[in-house]
Amino acid sequence: MLENIQEFLNTPYLWFLFILCGIFIGMAKTGLSGAGLMIVPIMAHVFGGKLSVGIVLPMLIFADIFAVYYYHRHANWRYIILSIPWALIGVVIATIFGNNLNADQFKTTLAIVILIAISLMLWQDFRKNKSEKFLDNWWFAAILGLAGGFTTMIGNAAGPIMSLYLLSMHLPKNNYIGTAAWFFLIINVIKVPFHIFIWNTITIQTLSIDLFGIPAILVGVFIGIRLVKLFPEKIYRYFILVSTSLSALFLF
């Protein structure tokens, strides 16, 4: 097992990046989604694009379990039920076609989807007639669910999409985190067989690498839970919105 790890993490610098990503994963899953902005590109730098997706997924599931344990009481199951079926369709589409998708095309498409969703959300927030929430409809859940399922399968990059979906519903801080935690735990577990049997990106070797990320994830979970408590509701909403917007711009 040690030989497999040393094949990739063969310098102190790469170990530092790996541990840093573990901390970021724990923080992102417990409410500080902005901490997840750099996880995908950093892990791709360390392990390569396709392999990094399979390495990151079990780490995300481990952090999802802690997020669900801590915030499960606050989940709003209506939005989970609305979005999960569409996300599953997105996962299947990505499994079939995503293996041959150009990385630059994927990043650009994801950024455009995020920016359009942000524009729609802001328009709803600032228009005069706020009594009718047009985003609180099945078609909005379908669009973002499909986009979220596709992006989470391709690169574990659905965080910004789900953030926008839940922000548009104006969920309180803890409800936002609890709903996202359950959504990602369900969808990430469903993705595992696709990665094992179709893409072959999760193996005994990749899982052995994941084991070394567990302590860092636990540190990130602790930091995330502590820091989220310090955010007032309104400021937390702006924090998520700004970090999500930055993630879209970073993809360009």
Indicate the DSSP class of residue 194: I
- Check residue 177 and give its pLDDT: 95
Q: What is the pLDDT of residues 71-95, one digit of tens each?
A: 989 999 999 999 999 999 999 998 8
Helices of type H across 156-232 = 159-168, 173-193, 204-211, 214-228
The dihedral over CA atoms of 97, 165, 111, 182, expressed in degrees to the nearest 10, equals -60
pLDDT at 2: 43
Sole residue written with tokens 């669910």: 145
Give pLDDT, residue 156.
Answer: 82
For the segment 212-230, what is each residue's pLDDT rounded down to a tens digit? 999 999 999 999 999 999 9
pLDDT of residue 1: 41
**What is the mean pLDDT of the segment spanning 146-156?**
86
As a whole number of angstroms, the distance between CA 149 and CA 155 comes to 10
Does 121 score more than 50 pLDDT? Answer: yes
8-state DSSP, 137: S
Q: Are 179 and 74 in contact (CB under 8 A)?
A: yes
Instruction: Determine which of 64-68, 80-84, 93-97, 188-192 has the lowest per-residue pLDDT on average.
Output: 93-97
Q: Contact 187/80 with Cβ under 8 angstroms?
A: no
Tokens of 146: 């499909």
